[in-house]
Structure 1
Amino acid sequence: MPWSRISGSLSSPKVDVAIDLGNPFLNLTLDGFLKIGTVAATRAAAEDTYHILQKRNISSHEFEKMLKKMCKEGAYWGTIAGVYVGTEYGVERIRGTRDWKNAMIGGAITGALVSASSKNKKDKIALDAITGAAIATAAEFINYLT
């Protein structure tokens, strides 16, 4: 029985912004902020566009509200990403090695900082630190597998 095979590869587009602040820590932190902030702003824009089209109400007020939400979401998630990337890099420099433990520690510190800045209580801060560590470690393992 004849058979055929398709050969090829899929790859995601790569976008790099070259802003040199003269320090690898600052460069990585800014890069994380810009990339994740852009993703969050795009998600907010897509979500609001969907809602505007559902209501069939396109007005300048709705558009202004969408822009404010895009900026807020982009800044919030960009800041979290910048803190995480900077923390992970700092842990890597302190430990002198590059492995999954840096992601775990960076995720835990970032989760705790974000939770503490939201004025949560100690138990919630600890749980958010554990969640941050788990998500960052899982992402690192998934990245390693691909």
Structure 2
Amino acid sequence: MTEYEAERRLHHPADTVFAAVADLHHADEWGPGDLHVRGHDGDLTTVDKGGSEGDGGVPGLARIRPEQMRVEWGVEGSPDYTGWIQVMHADEGHSRVVVHLSFLGDRPEAHPGPAADAVQRRLEEGLARLAERLDA
């Protein structure tokens, strides 16, 4: 298993940041790849990762955990790809955000090399985009 993680301190309260993160209809603006929301049932959301909405991207599930200020996701029916984003309180008016991905199996991202470097870069860029979105 290969794991990736990025962290960023944001100049916004944790509740504000979590509201943005939990709005999965906008997850493609900051998330690690293209995510397209297909359905919603309580805290469980069905998403497609990659491709465009309805064109058969990889089906996945996302779970919003408001009591933990956390969103978790993965590929439906497979442990080969999972991730989560956690929002935490920091100094007054600030928060910390950690995003984490895990890869198993023969996926290129599960091994050192260009794909692994790209994953880490996408995580850091995603947190930068989240900060920009909140600052707008």
TM-score range, shorter chain: 0.3 to 0.5
Which is greater in Rg? Answer: 1
Q: TM-score, normalised by structure 1?
A: 0.36
Query: As a proportion of its length, which structure holds more strand?
Result: 2
